[in-house]
Amino acid sequence: MAMIKLEPVRAVPTAVAVGLTLLIWFVVPVPQGVSENAWQLLALFVGTIAAIIGKALPIGGVSIVAISLVAITGVTNPGNPKAALADALSGFSNELIWLIGISIMVSMSLNKTGLGARIGYFLISLFGKRTLGIAYALALTETVLAPVTPSNTARGGGIIHPIMRSIADSFNSHPKPGSTERIGRYLALVNYNTNPITSAMFITATAPNPLIVTLIYQGTDPSFQLTWAMWAIAAFVPGIVSLIVMPIVIYFMYRPEIRQTPDAPEFAKRQLAELGPLSTPEKVTLGVFILLLVMWAGVPAMLFGDAWLINPTAAAFVGMSILLLTGVLKWDDALANKGAWDTVVWFSALVMMAGFLGKLGLVAWLAQSVEVGIAGFGLNWVIGMLLLVLVYVYTHYFFASTTAHITAMFAAFFAAGIALGAPPMLLGLTLAFSSSLMMSLTHYGTGTAPIVFGSGYTTLGEWWKVGFVMSVVNLAIWFFIGSVWWKVLGYW
């Protein structure tokens, strides 16, 4: 009988994670206005993020430990072990998480049937002379889809990402060291960092945007209305500038080995000719993706009324069901997709912990502390507003959901900025667009992130480095160019 080789946790990152948890839990005094169990949950959350960053265990393993600690310590529901366990497992009932997991499984059909390769070759035939051209093609495609796709996860993860993977595969660039550097890493980073920009450009480009409109309405003159057209016009100039600049910034940070491909368009056309006409499995897959796009875009509700509104996660399950019923995918295919199931586990844990940080009042306490602190400095409204925006954006490191972040902090920060004397429309638009731009920071900051990161083309360090740099670049573009543009429009 062969000996089983033990692979325990990595000692140093584990020690750091445990040390941070114990330090916050037992040493750092609980601030006034914060409950003890909320502070203890923060300790567990910080320790979990430290363990993930340090790779103490694979991210799914860290998440299982985090779930068990939340359940056994009872920080979310002291004195009620059964309720604490229910809280710890509550992330698995989050519909966004299943949208992510099922989207990963559905996208398998593009590669299995060859439709993904066909789409990839078609794009290469149009824009394949340079790697930058391919990057802009992906960005343009998502921008066109953004106004009618309220789920940024469905758009960036369910539609664009499979196409990006097919293009990378066509250049023999796979998610493994020595291969991803060819072109896959670059295209994956562009694929994801397009998503926060397009999400900021339209009210209907991501689910939380209508919530922001409501919060701005509630915090200003009731006669004021931020319409769909006003939002789109305000976002147009800074959005286009960001979409032009972003692929170039990433290009210089992680320059792909393949930069010029003058023969690629002709090669792609030959490959398309060899593929011949669409096969039946390809037609089914294409039909499913068109159906998903129609459902995700809310077309049935537009045509027949709100009674026909289809939840994006339910739509994803419908698409997966059709692929299973027609035999395009087999259940064994879904079971074998370790990336999808791993994502469901680790994203559930992070969403659960971040959600309870909001429910237990810690995030609200943080927002109030920032408001009082900035007001106490006696700063002019420009500096005060800039500080508010920066704190608002970079606290997204503690969130696994933009909706939760906006719900917990937007209203307080908007009120704080107005109290400092900032023009309501300037402040509202800056915070509104920043609510999407902050998605770039982490691999768990929005639903698209774990799909693209989970495909394995980038390391955690590369992802966070690009995310931080792009947050700075995007904020500079939208704050400076955007504010001038909004002044020209007469918005403030």
Backbone angles phi, psi at 260, to 5 degrees: -120, 130
Contact (CB, 8 A) for 145 and 201: no
Per-residue model confidence (pLDDT) at position 96: 73
Instruction: Count CB atoms within 10 A of the CB of residue 222.
Output: 7
Residue 155 CA to chain centroid, in angstroms?
Answer: 11
Please report the pLDDT score of residue 316 as a whole number: 87
Per DSSP, the residues of 236-264 read HHHHHHHHHHHHHHHHHHS--S--B-TTH
Model confidence, pTM: 0.71
DSSP three-state, residue 433 = helix
The answer to whether the CB of 58 falls within 8 A of the CB of 24 is no
Q: Could you give the angle at which helices 184-201 and 460-476 cross, rounded to 10 degrees?
A: 40
> Rounded to the nearest 5°, which phi and psi values hold at 339?
-60, -40
Where is 59: in which H helix or E strand? helix 59-73
Residue 130, beta-bridge partner list: 260
pLDDT at site 39: 95
In tens digits, what is the pLDDT along the chain, a chain of 492 residues?
556 778 788 999 999 999 999 999 999 999 988 999 999 999 998 898 888 878 899 888 999 999 999 999 999 999 899 999 999 999 899 887 888 788 888 888 887 888 877 887 788 788 878 999 989 988 988 888 888 677 788 888 888 898 888 888 888 889 999 999 999 999 999 999 999 999 999 888 887 887 788 778 777 766 567 878 889 899 999 999 999 999 999 999 999 998 887 777 887 788 889 889 999 999 999 999 889 888 887 788 888 988 988 888 898 899 999 999 999 999 999 999 888 898 889 888 888 888 888 788 887 787 677 767 777 777 788 888 998 899 999 999 888 778 778 877 787 788 888 878 889 899 999 999 999 999 999 998 888 999 999 899 999 999 999 999 999 999 999 999 999 999 999 988
CA angle in degrees (0–180, nearest 5) for 363-82-405 = 20
The alpha carbon of residue 472 and the mean position of all alpha carbons in its chain are separated, in whole angstroms, by 17
Three-state SS for 458?
coil
- What residue has token string 């664009």? 160
d(C-alpha 88, C-alpha 104), whole Å: 24
Residue 171 has what pLDDT?
86
Nearest to 110 by CA among 288, 257, 233: 288
Q: Residue 392: how many CA atoms within 13 Å on its side-chain side? A: 32
Distance CA 359, CA 426 (A): 29
Helices H, strands E: what count in the chain?
25, 0
Tokens of 332: 């064994």
- In angstroms, the CA 289 to CA 284 distance is 9
Our CA angle for 86, 18, 404, nearest 5°, is 45
Say how far apart CA 70 and CA 86 lie, in whole Å: 10
**Strand ranges (DSSP E) for 306-431?**
none
Tell me the residue type at 78.
P
pLDDT at 223: 58
Residue 206 is classified by DSSP as S
Q: Measuring CA to CA, which residue among 238, 101, 119 is closest to residue 157?
A: 101
Residue 3 CB contacts under 8 Å (≥ 6 apart), including other chains: none
